[in-house]
């Protein structure tokens, strides 16, 4: 038969578990809501996709310019016999090779972002399971504390994803 200490310990553990579940409910409610009305996970996924796209675009632009410079170097090389100029062109070509090597960061960045995206997806699936366990209506009714944001943080809305936010043309019109 249980002793009084064992019963008190069991009661304390049950109370701790209950309090923990209440905290989890509040955290799940906070995670599933955002200021923009979209789920935070959707926004994270979009932001990660935007990082990969922007990195890829920048890398491609850099590599295109380096290729154009290589063509120009070849044309200059054809027009001179000057050893000093040819040495400088060799140096520029070597620098171009270093730029191409440095552009491999894009592939590594993409791999790391993909790992993060998988982690976000994993957490999202676990949160969705908790929502099902608690019930969506119940989670939506849970009161959560507002995040304390500074005035500057409340104004920050960027960088905007493609097709969202104010366009550069709209900003330019303000100055016309």
Q: How far is CA 100 from the centre of its chain?
A: 25
Quick: pLDDT tens for 42-82: 677 778 888 888 888 999 999 999 999 999 999 999 999 99
- Mean pLDDT within 147-176: 69
- Ramachandran bin of 59, using left for φ above 0, alpha for ψ from -120 to 50, beta for the remaining angles: alpha
Per-residue HEC secondary structure of 62-74 comes to HHHHHHHHHHHHH
Quick: pLDDT tens for 94-139: 999 999 899 888 888 888 888 888 888 888 788 778 878 877 777 7
Among candidate residues 56, 59, 54, 58, the one with its CA nearest the CA of residue 101: 59
Write the DSSP assignment of 63-108 as a string of letters.
HHHHHHHHHHHHHHHHT---HHHHHHHHHHHHHHHHHHHHTTHHHH
pLDDT for the residue numbered 93 = 95
């Amino acid at each position: 038969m249980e002793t009084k200490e064992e019963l008190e310990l069991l009661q304390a553990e049950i109370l701790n578990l209950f309090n923990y579940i209440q905290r989890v409910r509040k955290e799940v409610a906070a995670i599933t809501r955002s200021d923009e009305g979209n789920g935070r996970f959707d926004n994270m996924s979009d932001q990660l996709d935007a990082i990969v796209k922007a990195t890829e675009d920048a890398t491609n632009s850099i590599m295109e310019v380096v290729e154009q410079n290589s063509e120009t170097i070849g044309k200059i090389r054809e027009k001179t016999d000057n050893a000093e100029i040819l040495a400088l062109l060799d140096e520029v070509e070597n620098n171009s090779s270093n730029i191409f090597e440095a552009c491999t960061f894009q592939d590594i960045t993409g791999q790391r972002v993909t790992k993060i995206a998988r982690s976000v997806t994993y957490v999202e699936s676990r949160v969705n399971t908790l929502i099902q366990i608690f019930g969506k209506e119940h989670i939506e009714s849970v009161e959560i504390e507002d995040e304390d944001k500074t005035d500057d943080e409340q104004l920050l809305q960027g960088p905007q994803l493609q097709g969202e936010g104010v366009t550069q043309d709209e900003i330019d019109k303000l100055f016309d």
